[in-house]
A and B are shown apart, each in its own frame.
Chain A
Amino acid sequence: MTLLKRLLFAGTALAAAGLAAASAHAQGKPEPIQVGLIAPLSGIYARPGTVMKMGAELGIEDVNAAGGISCLGGAPLELAVIDSGDSVEKATNAAQRMVAEHPKLVGATGAYLSSFTLAVSEVTERANLPLLTLSYSDLITGRGFKTIFQTSATSGAQAEIALPIIMDLAEKQTGKRPQTVAIITDNTAASLSSVKRMKEGLLADVGLKLVSEEVFTPPLTDATSLVQEIRRGRPDLLFFLPTVISDSKLILEKMQEFRVRVPTISFGIAIAEPEVLNTVDPKLLEGVMSAVANWGKKGEEGLIKRLKDRYGEPWMTQNAISTYGDMWLFKTALETSCSRDRAGLAKALRGLDAGPSKYYPGGTLSFDDAGHRKGASLTIIQWQNGVPMTVFPEALALSAAKWPKP
Chain B
Amino acid sequence: MTDTQILVESVLQALVAGLFIGAIYGLMCVGLASIFGVMRVINFAQGDFMMLGMYVTYFAFVAFGAQAFGTAVGPFAAAIVAMPVMYGFGWAVHRLLISRVTGTRSAGMEAEGHYAQLILTLGVALVLQNGAMILFGAEMVSVRTPLSSAAWFVGPFGDGMALFVNQARTIAAAISLVVIVSLWLVIRRTNLGKSLRAAADNPEASIYMGIDVDRAHRVAFGLGTAITALAGGLLAANYPFHPFVGLDYVIIMYAGVVLGGIGSVPGAFWGGMTIGLVQQLSALVLPTQLQNATIFVFFLLIVILRPQGFFGRNVERT
Contact = CB atoms under 8 A, between A and B. Distances in A.
Interface in B217-273: 238-242, 244, 248
B140 A275 contact: yes
Given A221-B248, A226-B288, 17 more contacts: A47-B140, A50-B138, A215-B287, A216-B291, A217-B289, A221-B279, A222-B21, A222-B238, A224-B14, A224-B17, A225-B283, A225-B288, A250-B239, A256-B150, A257-B149, A275-B141, A278-B144
Given A215-B287, A258-B151, A232 B6 contact: yes
Contacts of B289: 187, 215-217
A250 B240 CA distance: 9
15 contacts: A44-B244, A47-B140, A215-B287, A217-B288, A219-B248, A225-B291, A228-B9, A228-B10, A228-B14, A232-B10, A254-B149, A257-B166, A278-B139, A278-B140, A279-B141
Given A221-B21, A228-B10, A47 B139 contact: yes
Interface string A248-290: 0110111011110000000000000001001101001000000
B233 to A, nearest CB: 16
Interface in A1-60: 42-44, 46-47, 50
Nearest to B241: A246
B140 A279 contact: yes
Interface of B: 6, 9-10, 13-14, 17, 21, 130, 133, 137-142, 144, 146, 148-151, 164, 166, 238-242, 244, 248, 279-280, 283-284, 287-289, 291-292
A199 to B, nearest CB: 15
B249 to A, nearest CB: 9
Nearest to A215: B289
A278 B242 contact: no
Contact of A278 (B6, B142, B280, B287): B142
A221 B282 CA distance: 14
Contacts of A250: 238-239
Nearest to B166: A257
A184 to B, nearest CB: 9
Given A249-B142, A257-B151, A281-B149, A217 B244 contact: no
Contacts of B17: 222, 224-225
Contacts of A78: none
A200 B143 CA distance: 41
B149 A284 contact: yes
B142 A279 contact: yes
A258 B164 contact: yes
Nearest to B148: A253
Contact of B244 (A86, A187, A275, A284): A86
Contact of A224 (B137, B141, B280): B280
Given A46-B133, A250-B239, A228 B13 contact: yes
Contacts of A279: 140-142, 144, 240
A253 B291 contact: no
Given A215-B288, A279-B240, A257 B133 contact: no
Interface in A182-230: 187, 214-217, 219, 221-222, 224-226, 228
A153 to B, nearest CB: 26
B140 A281 contact: no
B151 A246 contact: no
Contacts of A46: 133, 138
A217 B141 contact: no
B291 A217 contact: yes
Nearest to B235: A221
A167 B279 CA distance: 36
Contacts of B283: 224-225
A216 B288 CA distance: 5
Contacts of B133: 42, 46
Nearest to B139: A275
Nearest to B10: A228
A159 interface: no
A222 B140 CA distance: 17
B101 to A, nearest CB: 28
Pick the most buried of B144, B146, B149, B239: most chain A CB atoms within 10 A of its CB: B149
A362 to B, nearest CB: 31
A257 B288 contact: no
A256 B145 CA distance: 13
B146 A281 contact: yes
A148 interface: no
A44 B291 contact: no
Nearest to A218: B289
Pick the 8 closest A-B CB pairs, nearest first. A46-B138, A225-B283, A253-B149, A224-B17, A279-B240, A256-B149, A279-B142, A246-B240
A198 B4 CA distance: 31
Contacts of A349: none
A4 B248 CA distance: 56
Contacts of B13: 224, 228
B23 to A, nearest CB: 13
